Amino acid sequence: MITNEITHKEAFSLKAKLSDYSQLIKMRLTFTVVFSAAMGFLLATTASTPMIDLFWLVLGGFLVVGSSNGINQIIEKNYDKLMHRTANRPIATGRMGVSEAAVFCLLMGIAGVSILSYFLNPLSGWLALASLVSYAFFYTPLKRMSPVAVFVGAFPGAIPPMLGYVAVTGTIDAVALALFAIQFFWQFPHFWAIAWILDEDYKRAGYRLLPSFEGRGKKSARQMVWYTVVLIPMGFLPYTMQVSGLVSAIISAAAALAFLYFAIKLYRSCADKDAKVLMFASFLYLPVVLLSFVLDKL
């Protein structure tokens, strides 16, 4: 009986520790980012591309993104305690020490960049390193200083599909830049919709992420509309560059128009419920558009 009790406690402790590490690296967000990189990879593949490279991209990308997210929580540990959404994170609660998290994130980051550099190409490794450093050490501290943090954070946030493309081609060409641009402009209405919903929670920690200092109002909503408008022509870029077909261009335009409809709806109402709808629309927009590019190429 005592042995069974000890085994049960050990299993519970291991499960709790794994759960903490999952929270540290923001597992769902990490997989979402890696998905974008995988779509960029598949868009660049040719008959001669070794598909094992996709495995190295996913593994290396997962490690780098997880490292970035963990460093973000180390830096923000004292502010995470102040927000309902983040108060239960492992470092904020003291369930995980800063040293433990720092070593784990350092090893993940080094391993991820090394895998991308060695098994794919050096440029992939440099892009991953640039994304990690700019997200963790530029975007993260800026969040409490100015709404410009969203603009700064959009650069590392837009790298994944470009990195996936570069993992195959080894060069940053016009197509790679187009993928970067699509994800770059998508992030503004996406993050601002989230910031709108969580505005009061963010304020508890001193974050000001909406584009206007008035907060949840017409000026902030107007910015979301303009950035969503830009997505309409952006979706035609892969078609004009002959890397995907007309069907994906039409799907992309339709998705952007639907996205714009919800942004305009928020502008008219300035209601939290419409910000939620816009947020969910943003979650759907990117995978639909990226998948359409890849499937139309096949």
pLDDT in tens, 188-209: 999 999 999 998 888 888 888 8
Q: Which helix (H) or strand (E) holds 180?
A: helix 174-197
Predicted confidence band of residue 247 (pLDDT cuts 50, 70, 90): very high
Predicted confidence band of residue 7 (pLDDT cuts 50, 70, 90): low
Tally Cβ neighbours within 10 Å of residue 292.
Answer: 23
Q: Is the pLDDT of residue 85 over 80?
A: yes
Residue 244 and residue 248: Cα distance in Å, rounded?
A: 7
pTM: 0.91
Per-residue confidence (pLDDT) for residue 17, from 0 to 100? 85
CATH of 19-172, one of 1.10.10.10, 1.10.357.140, 1.10.8.350, 1.10.3090.10: 1.10.357.140
For residues 98, 101, 105, 107, the Cα torsion angle rounded to the nearest 10 degrees is: 110
| 102-114 mean pLDDT | 97
- Find where tokens 């991308």 sit: 116
Per-residue confidence (pLDDT) for residue 297, from 0 to 100? 80
Predicted confidence band of residue 142 (pLDDT cuts 50, 70, 90): confident
Residue 15 and residue 10: Cα distance in Å, rounded?
A: 9
Q: Is the pLDDT of residue 8 over 70?
A: no
> For the chain, which residues make up each domain, given as ranges?
19-172, 173-298
Give me the percent of the chain exceeding a pLDDT of 90: 76
